[in-house]
Structures are given as structure tokens and as C-alpha cells.
Structure 1
């Protein structure tokens, strides 16, 4: 073969190789636009001792945090990230000196009303805990850090009766104060049933009348240890109002969260509230979380995510004292419009911070993954296994947040986080996919990262190549998902999916 023919043959081989590269699916740009979630963190967001009964809000670029101190001092923390609250300084914003309210500060709750912040709290004398009453501070301006001045003690129950855990709920443009007190205006020492009450407010420091009863602990899961409804806090979405609350006795690991829904028009009428039959949030022995309750809600900086902050213990033997720590996680919503608070996550699980922290733009996409060759089936988790099923129920098991790849956040690399199990991602283990909590390791990040490429069976769909086994793709086999090398037409169809809403 002469040199001229050799050069022509080499040129042909080079052109063939280049054409093959162009046709390879991983050379096609990604069609998924991923957003930037916030700084990662692990619970607790604030540790002992001042971390029970937490309140957390986001305002003008910062998070603000307050919790029970058991003393006469009220402290706030401020941070630009949720993760930063753990080491943020405690700033004392008030030292109590009012008659019979010099100690045992519980359950602070802040509300921005008419351009000023109002800080509501329970307090009593140094002897705990029969003297607890509700008090309110007023800020000098619009800064949550104050300064604050004492405004009033709220007249909530007959004969200045016992009242705790109050917060403000706004419905139809009117403000209401929701709180916890005892049946028949009983005392802390009497052991009476602890209920939820509501009063309409004439201004942020005055109620129009004593509280009206709206909920009693009548269900078995509300009566473990003692019959208790306390810690009410409003959660609203889509024109619906839910009043969430803590149920059962805080000294037990079965302290949990329930909810009422306002199904009538008047919040002051008990029959206009409907109690949800089952708790929304409760202990998880598997995750080592006990007594998860007394909570508030906040919205992510970009306004696209709803979050819960709550306290919990790490041992079933711990109770109502200073062992409780503050924790946070994203919540979701069921297709019927009711809140889904999920399962309290382990303190070893790495969570992505709220979307939009540090001015990161854009919401994280929530999508379903539809099978190419079984188009009535969608990827879902079921007892942490991953498969394709029709008619996914509960529907949230088939929804995932498509985020930048945990191992490589570059263009085209993605990870799939469960909507209803925050911090849990699709990852492969011995080539089989499962839903697992992010343990923060480099191995987990690699196993949970995939390159989105043009679909192996159709370029208008997508396929997902393993980050750390680049010869393997996500595919279904007998409806179960795994990563495999792909060499047949059937396998190419099994490895092709479409992201849908």
C-alpha cells in the first residue's frame, strides 16, 4: 500500500471516529436546568441548652431563630444561611422583670404585624410551672432583632388562668391568637386535659374576649402519657388553613404533630374546624428521632419551598427538658392539598439547604420519570426499593427534585432527591437502585450522580449514565431499576425515560 492510499485510509478512519463521537449520547447537551439549593447541613440546626420549642423565620435576607430558655432572658440568633444558625451568636433582646413573669420563658413566637415585630412568649415565676401566662413584646421598628419593649400580658382565660404556647393566625384579614390551656380553666397541678383555644385580637397586644375552645385531645394518639393539645401554629396554602399542634405528653417519645383544618368560615366556631384523623409527624425509631413536635413553619428565600422547624430528642428516655434540640427539614404537599410533613430525618443525613439561599436564583424542579416502553409506568420508591409502577400511590413516592449532581454539579450531571423523604436520593448499590439517605461520603455522592444524555431509544427522551460506572445506564429490569451496560434494542428502551410534571 503506497503512502497516498495509507493517508486516505487514515483520513476515512478519523472521519468515522469523529462521526461516532458526535452520535454518542453523552455528547448531547443536557436538557435539564438545575437550580442551586442552599448550603448543606445536618440536624440539629441548634443544639442544647436553648433549643426546645423553636421559632424560625426568614426576613430580608436572613434567618431569625428563638427558642425556650427556661430563664428570664429571651435570645435571638441571626444568620444568612440555615446552616449558620448553629454557630450564630445568641443576642439577648429582653430581660424579664414583670410581676410573676421573671423566669421559665417558653415557646417564643414572632410575628410581623403592621410593620412591627411582636414577640409572644410564655413566662412565670421561678417556681415552675403553674404560673405560666402569655406576654408580648413590641419592636421599635421593622428589625426582628429589636430593640423590644414590654407591651402587655394577654387576658386569655377567666381569672387570669394558665395559658401557654401562643401564636398569631390571620384569616380573612383578621388576627386571632391561638394557644393552649386547661379544661374548665384548670391549673397545671390539677392534671386536667390540655386543649386548644382561640381569641380574636383587637390589636397585637389585646384580645377581644377570653379564649374559645376549638380542640380537645380525643383521639388515642393525642393521649399518650397525658391528654394534650398544645403549641398551635398556622400553615396555609391554596386558600386553605391548617392549624397544626403538638399532641400527647412531651415527657414521652410519642409527642407528635396533628392538625385541624378550617372547613367552615368562622375560626371562632369549633364546628368549623375538622380534625385530621392521623398524626402528621411522629417518632422514627429507625432514624433515632423521638418526640418530634413543638414546631413552626417558614418559607425558603426564593418562596418555592415550605419548611418545618421542630424539636426532638435522640433517645426514647429523654423528655421535656434541655436534651431537646432544634431540627429542620423541607415539607411537601399531597395531591389533595393537605400537608405532608414526612418522616423526621436522622441527624446523620445530609440535607440541602432551602432553595434560594445566598441569592441563588430559581426553584428546584420537581419531576416524575416516565418509562419509554411502559408509558403508563413511572419511577417510584416503595419501601426504599426503586421500580416503575402504574398509578403510583401515594403520588409523592413518584416525585423527585432534579438537582445538580452531588458528585459533579457541572452541566448535564443530576441527582434525584425524594420529595417526601428530604435528604434521600436515588443511588445504586451493587448495581441496584434504591432510595437512601445522603451520608455525606464521596461514595454516596458518586453513586447518586448521573449524566443526563439523549435517550438511547429516542433522542427526544433521556437516558441517565452512571457517574462512577460510565459504561452503565439506569434501566428497568422486571420493573426494578438498576444500572447495566446497554447493548440490545430492548435494553435501550428499558434505559430511556422522560421527565414530566
Structure 2
């Protein structure tokens, strides 16, 4: 509708003020000790649709590795040295599963090998947990399929598995339906090895509290968080079809980990929707540490509308957590997608955040209408400080760069692999192909031309526009002011 087409200078102004205010709120007022510098700043989501639900994000040797539901048989992985860089990091196929639909992949290192646990549905059979093992210590693999982990009797339904190390032993927590009351509950099973259970699982939590039963009674997506000798098991509660999907928490209080009585359930959710911030159904999460080891962060999926549910609308968001005085984790409130966050401390490298300003129009390259879907439009607009005009410049290693938008996480793309003057540019899921690679050729005065690797054409202020909303296309390189851009 017309209102959505902003060109809501008002909408932009409100967002800009909010960003400034939030920036002031987030500014540190004092430190007990010196900390490593934060990484490049970013906004959520850090990975956009469609392969962005049920995320696992791990930090290993200074890089992040990311897997999520793909709705296909494939497990794809992104690698980046910064959270900001995840948006433009290409997806790489690391494992092809034996099922038709794969979801909730979980990446875990045991010894010097990585293990991919994932849920699969095979031709209508019960949904079960499968595992693949890496050949070495590289999270990107290669991986070898190791089969199904037998977690429930009679080859029963068992999903959303993750590992737990406790009291010197290895366990697997997962979600399954209880034969007693048919409630989708949390289970735990002892593991003989990372690829084999030594016994069937036992139930440690059922969705009995009112906040665990909204839109459907569910406990799933468990993930362990350990600190100062204490073990917390956080999990997703209620059904993902509604906006009230959220996180709850158990705490291990000693005794047999396989006994429900050894686990204390906290009476209230620890992370849930924020209507004020426009975040709905936050859940199915993982935790990771900053590269310098001083911070704990959460990665989770959420929707931007209360009407969205369990499908491909869910996107991955991350934010730093803190700790309460009693030693329990404080996940805070899910932040708005307009909130600019500093990256985890100790990040090195990563893409540079730049503004791209046209010399002729003095307008900035802009994610027109705040698009987030592949194919979103690119135009020029009055320069401002909003993420829709932030572009993350990532070198490809051979003189070219990709440019990922700070709001959408999509890459500047030569639409339909065109080669003729006047060809359209758009935003598209980052894939590393030549249509998303641009060479910056300096022309003096701080300006450069941007030449597409596939077409050989220059990014062009089409028809020499000067009004906000002016088109951007590709054209034969002429080195005039309409093709000169200040990138910085």
C-alpha cells in the first residue's frame, strides 16, 4: 500500500531517532577492566530467509560457523570472521542427508571431530535424529554419514537433538512424545559415543505450565548453558505456529541426570516476544562465546509479525546475554531489527561497513522500501544513517567485492545475469557468483566506478536522476559523474 512505500521520510526519521537513542543507551558508561574491542556493528537479522530457522552458531578459532533449517535434504554452512559478515557469507553444501526435509541441524565438537546432528523425515516415517561426522577438525567437513541415533523405543519420533556434557559423561537431550500423556516433552539419553546412544531417553520436562501450552503444548529445541559449575538447559516452549513461542529453562540440581527430579524447572519464561520491538516467537536457539572468550551470545530465530508461524519467514537474530546476581542467565528482551549492535569482542577482520554515494546526484545507494526478500529493489535516496544504506564490503580475494545490505542481508546483484546496457540491479541471497561481484576502480577525488564481474557494465545513476527514488542500473562504462560513487 502507499503508506508502506515510506518514502516515509517520517518513518525514516522515527527510525533514525530510535537508532540514535538506542545507541546512547547501549554506550558503555564504565568498565571494571579493559576488554577487547568490539567487532563490526550490525543489525538483526544476521541471516535472512529462507534458510534461517532453528540456527546453531558456533565460534571456533576466531571464525563463526552457522547452520540452520533448509527445508531440503541439504545441510549448508556459512563461515565468517564477524557476525556482520554472516549476511554476505555464501552458503556451502557440507552434507546431503538421506531425508526429504532436514531441520534443526546442531553442530558440536567432540575430541577433534565435528558432529552434525539433524532431524529428518523420510517418506512419512517417524521423524528421527541422524548424525554425520567430520573427517578432521574443520567444521566445514568433509562429513561422513553415521546413521540414525536410536533414542526412543520402536524407532520412535525424536527431534531437535543436542549434546550435554555433565559429570564427565556425554548425554543427548531431545524432544519426543511421551507414551503416557502424548505431550511433546524434553528427554535425555546417555551416549556411548557421539554417534550412538547407550539407552533410550527418559523424560525430564513436560509442557505443563500455562506459558508452555500457548497455541499447542510443546517442549523442544533444548540447549545446554554451563557456567561456574552450574548447568542450565534452556528450551523452546509453546507452539511455533503462534507468536508466543518462547524460551524456558531447567537447572540441574545434582543426582542422576536421567531422573526428572534432578532438574528444577524455572516457573517463568526467560525470553519471549516483544511487541514494542516487533519481535514475535523468539526461540530455537544456541549459545556461543565471543572470540576473546569474555562474552556469551545467543542466536535464535524469530518473526517480524504476530501472524507468521513455523515457516520460512523466521530469520536468525543474535544478541549478547548477561548474568543475574544469583548466577542465572539473563537473556534480556529480543532487540528490534533497527537496533545497531556492536559485534562480539575480539573479532578480527570482517567486512567494512560503507555508504555508497553517487557523484552526480549526491544520493546514496538505498534498499528501497526496506525490502528483505530476494529481488528487493535498489534505488538512490537522501543519505542518512539507517541500515538500509549500510553496505558491507567483503573482498572475494581477487580484486572484487560483494556488497551486502545492512538491513536485508542481501547482496547487490546483476538481475537475471544480464549483459546489456540498462540491465537492472537488485538485492539477492548472497551466493558468491560473478553477478554479485563488483570491482572498485578509483577515478580520483575519493570516487570509484563499480564494475560488475559478469556483465562488465558499470553501476549507473540511470537517466542522471537527482530526486530521491532515482533508479540505479548498469550501463556501458563511460566514467562520467553518474557512474562515479564514493564508497566509504
Fold agreement, TM-score > 0.5: yes
Runs of 4+ in 1 over 6 A off after TM superposition: 438-441
Choose which of 144, 151, 156 in structure 2 pairs with 1:161.
156
Q: How does 1:80-159 map to 2 (within 5 A)?
A: 80-97=81-98, 102-125=99-122, 131-159=126-154
Map Cα deviations across residues 129-172 of structure 1 (whole Å, 9 max, x no partner): x6310000000000000000001201111100111000000011
Q: How does 1:221-300 map to 2 (within 5 A)?
A: 221-300=211-290
Q: Could you tell me how far apart the structure 1 residues matched to 2:251 and 2:81 are?
A: 33
Could you tell me whether the CA contact under 8 Å between 1:162 and 1:185 is conserved in 2?
A: no
Q: Could you tell me how far apart the structure 2 residues matched to 1:80 and 1:126 are?
A: 38
Secondary structure of 1:86's counterpart equals: helix
Task: State the match for 2:77 in structure 1.
Answer: 76
Structure 1 gaps, min length 5: 1-29, 187-191, 361-437, 442-501
Query: How far is the alpha carbon of 1:268 from its aligned partner?
Result: 1.0
Please say if 1:61 is aligned against 2:56. no
Could you tell me whether the CA contact under 8 Å between 1:349 and 1:439 is conserved in 2?
A: no
Q: Could you tell me how far apart the structure 1 residues matched to 2:386 and 2:275 are?
A: 18
Please say if 1:343 is aligned against 2:344. no
Could you tell me whether the CA contact under 8 Å between 2:42 and 2:341 is conserved in 1?
A: yes
RMSD over equivalenced CA pairs, Å: 2.2
Could you tell me whether the CA contact under 8 Å between 1:259 and 1:279 is conserved in 2?
A: yes
Secondary structure of 2:137's counterpart equals: coil
Query: How far is the alpha carbon of 1:291 from its aligned partner?
Result: 0.1
Query: How far is the alpha carbon of 1:359 from its aligned partner?
Result: 7.8
Q: Could you tell me how far apart the structure 2 residues matched to 1:336 and 1:131 are?
A: 41
Secondary structure of 2:211's counterpart equals: helix
Secondary structure of 2:345's counterpart equals: coil
TM-score where L is the length of structure 2: 0.64
Change (3 A) 1:275 1:344: same
Q: Could you tell me how far apart the structure 1 residues matched to 2:297 and 2:33 are?
A: 25
Query: How far is the alpha carbon of 1:269 from its aligned partner?
Result: 1.2
Map Cα deviations across residues 357-399 of structure 1 (whole Å, 9 max, x no partner): 0189xxxxxxxxxxxxxxxxxxxxxxxxxxxxxxxxxxxxxxx
CA radius of gyration, larger in: 1
Task: State the match for 2:48 in structure 1.
Answer: 47
Secondary structure of 1:50's counterpart equals: coil
Change (3 A) 1:32 1:51: closer
Query: How far is the alpha carbon of 1:265 from its aligned partner?
Result: 2.9
Change (3 A) 1:356 1:184: same
Q: How does 1:204-223 map to 2 (within 5 A)?
A: 204-223=194-213
Q: Could you tell me how far apart the structure 1 residues matched to 2:123 and 2:220 are?
A: 22
Q: Could you tell me how far apart the structure 2 residues matched to 1:304 and 1:61 are?
A: 13
